[in-house]
Chain A
């Protein structure tokens, strides 16, 4: 097929045989069923807990209650509950505490909350597994249809043009392998961080830089057709210089959701995903289903991530005011990542969206989403 080019064409079915993929989907379905059972069980616990809260609240209303006191498993004595405001509650590990009704209710409420978060996490796990299953199903059907994956080595300048065209063709069919997705995820995360920093920087530079940006971006934009609108919107907000967060946030939201749909998200992936939304966490967490319970332990890492970078940002502020090249950097990686999430081959993502007519200044940082990391860091220091 591709005799002239130095690429390889692999039918998807040879990598993921249809029946194997179906088997994998079946296994995931089994896992879902199992999780569902666990969910039901935990829900039962939660219901029991709620009933107990009611009971504990009601018991102290009377001085004593006539009950049948269990004596072993098979016998009862007629008797009554006394000291109705004294409860002995198991704290765990065989330790018991004497509590009043109110205190007991508090303990039980906390237990209920723990159960709720458990239910939530189970729900999100089930959602994840569902996406995974649908992904396997899709792979199976695609393999059955006889799709092929086209891979091509990147070599030199002259192949750039051809491969970028090729890349457009490959966009739909091919499917990224899991670990590549992870790498990509890290890249995306980094890119988000960088774009965030740049936006903040931009905010401080305010209006006089805005003119420069517009010129600059007009040069770069035309090729990136798919992202143009959001890109422009982003820029407009940058010009306005009051709040550049909302657009980038919504864009990120979109890419997040896209990402959630596309990848089979293990919890690890999701965790990685979330650290990206530091400042906008409040609105973000409403949308992502499990943001709530994950957020609290993610806040730490976010701050840790952010703080070491701030000094660098400060440096840039002094030197970089005249440099109009800065704002280009954030959107570009984003283009890469977005593209990758639409299912394109990851190795190609660096040169896929690349605009052949791009100015030479920017072409130096194109080489790859992987390499963009060290390069941009270098650029930061150079300024």
Chain B
């Protein structure tokens, strides 16, 4: 009987360590990636709005050639902008079209982030549940700290 219980506890612990925790780590890193994308698109939106506000028609920038070596570049016509739409495709937009697309894209990214957050929360809940199961199996008293946070 005791052996059986220990076996069970061991299996649960393994499940937490081998399955749930790596899942959690992966989900968090995925969400971070989406956060980053969101940031790039919000930056792009701000930049395009800036161009619009100042009605810039030509542009000079520095292009990074790699290893922090830069060269001057000139953009004769800023009306047309190529925006990354995913899978390596770039679509030629005008400013207003680009802004339109960006707002749609941002909405989608926000939804994705929401999803990932839910996912992460559910994994955390699962971990907690398995830990509670282990506690019950070992017949330890419930942790006092768990009850405390109820104000």
Contacts and interface: CB of A to CB of B under 8 A. Distances in A.
**Prevailing SS type, chain B contact patch:** strand
B72 A81 contact: yes
Contact of A104 (B41, B47, B63, B69): B69
B76 interface: yes
Contacts of B63: 67, 69-70, 81
A296 interface: no
Interface stretch (B77-85, B110-118, B131-139): B77-85
B119 to A, nearest CB: 25
**Prevailing SS type, chain A contact patch:** mixed
B141 interface: no
Contact of B80 (A51, A73, A78, A104): A78
B81 A86 contact: no
Contacts of B47: 71-72
A352 B19 CA distance: 61
A79 B71 contact: no
B40 interface: yes
A77 interface: yes
A90 interface: yes
A24 to B, nearest CB: 26
Contact of B70 (A71, A88, A111): A88
B90 interface: yes
A361 interface: no
Interface in A14-65: 48-49, 51-52, 55-56, 59, 64
A19 B73 CA distance: 63
Contacts of B127: none
Contacts of A75: 44, 81-84, 98
Given A75-B84, A75-B98, A78-B77, A88 B59 contact: no
Interface in B90-149: 90, 98
A89 interface: yes
A88 B66 CA distance: 11
Contact of B78 (A72, A77, A80): A77
Nearest to A80: B74
A81 B66 CA distance: 15
B68 interface: yes
Contacts of A108: 67, 69
A83 B72 contact: yes
Given A70-B63, A77-B82, A86 B71 contact: yes
Contact of B71 (A68, A71, A87): A87
Given A56-B65, A76-B82, A69 B75 contact: yes
B17 interface: no
Interface residues of B, number: 32
A304 interface: no
A78 B98 CA distance: 15
Nearest to A85: B71
A49 B66 CA distance: 8
Contacts of B83: 74-75
Contact of B66 (A52, A59, A80, A96): A52
B56 to A, nearest CB: 11
Nearest to A92: B68
Interface in B29-69: 37, 40-41, 43-44, 47, 59, 61-69
A253 interface: no
A380 interface: no
A83 B83 CA distance: 26
A255 interface: no
A77 B93 CA distance: 10
Contacts of A67: 63, 73
A303 interface: no
Given A52-B69, A82-B72, A88 B40 contact: no
A376 interface: no
Given A76-B81, A81-B63, A89 B40 contact: no
Contacts of A48: 66-67
Which 9 residue pairs of A and B lie closest in terms of their CB atoms, listed nearest first?
A: A90-B68, A79-B75, A88-B70, A74-B84, A77-B75, A76-B82, A73-B40, A72-B44, A69-B73
17 contacts: A51-B66, A59-B71, A71-B81, A73-B40, A73-B84, A74-B37, A74-B40, A74-B84, A76-B82, A77-B78, A77-B82, A78-B77, A79-B75, A81-B63, A87-B69, A89-B69, A90-B69
Interface of A: 48-49, 51-52, 55-56, 59, 64, 67-84, 86-90, 96, 104, 108, 111
